[in-house]
Amino acid sequence: MANGMYSAVSGAVAQQQLLDSAANNLANVNTTGFKSQSLVFKEVMQNAESPLIVKDKSFVRVDASTYNFQQGALVPTQGQFDVALLGSGFFVVMGPNGERYTRAGNFTVDAAGFLSTQDGMHVLGESGPILIGKGQRVQFNEDGEIMVMDESGQSKKQGRLKVAYFNNPSLLVPEGSQLFIDDNSKAGPISQPKDPSQQRARIKSGCLESSNVNAVFQMTQLIQVNRMFQASMKVLEAYQQVDSRVNNDMFKS
């Protein structure tokens, strides 16, 4: 296989991966707390060990998958369990395999009266799971304090939302459903932002953070990548035609 064919094949695969990434971003343009994904590619040179294989093959592959953690727009909902983070940081929830981190604050109360995600994971406060109770009115303050009002109208503090910060959030690993995991503490958990450009989070009650996907950019990328994919396929077809002619000439001779 000619060196150029390796490049064409790997280029087509890379464009397909970009198409999948852009399509996934567009599919989540209305998903609460969703963070857009981008792919980083690198060129790889590989030396063939066999003399029958073209040496110094050149191809591209995915080098990294990164997420854009920029703030999404806040959308008022007036839902009493809807909260959004204004600034850096993540809500902390308890999954089956430990703590997970999310920007999606569309919470609810489960059958046992605990503040939970839509998937049934307990939302964590600074002292653990937060017991709200059924049928209670709830108010979240900007510093994360949770005030529960009983039937007599008396308010009682029921904890404070736990907010996690990281030195390098780009090292968080996605786990689906807008959840991230800090694999072996690689992202560097810290008690508060150290970067002056990162604002300590404020809690906005009755709001949700929308997806930060730029739909216009993603649509433009989708069109461009599709054209590049088609170009790579045409190059591959051309190489296949050349190989076919060479093989036919060899058999004729």
Q: Helices in 58-177 by DSSP H: which ranges? A: none
- Domains of the chain, residue spans: 3-69+213-252, 74-209
Q: What pLDDT is attached to residue 19?
A: 86
Taking the complete model, does pTM exceed 0.85, yes or no? no
At 58-88, the pLDDT tens digits run 666 777 788 999 999 999 999 999 999 999 8
Produce one character per residue of 181-205: b if its CB has 16 or more CB atoms within 10 Å, e if not. Answer: bbeeeebeeeeebeeeebeebebbb
Vertex 41: Cα angle to 36 and 44 (nearest 5): 165
Cα dihedral value 81, 88, 30, 140, nearest 10: 10
How buried is residue 90: exposed, middle or buried, by Cβ count under 10 Å (0-12/13-18/19+)? buried
Q: What pLDDT is attached to residue 14?
A: 78
**Mean pLDDT (whole number) for 46-53:** 51
Q: Is the pLDDT of residue 45 over 60?
A: no
Q: Given the structure tokens 């007036």, which residue do they identify?
A: 78
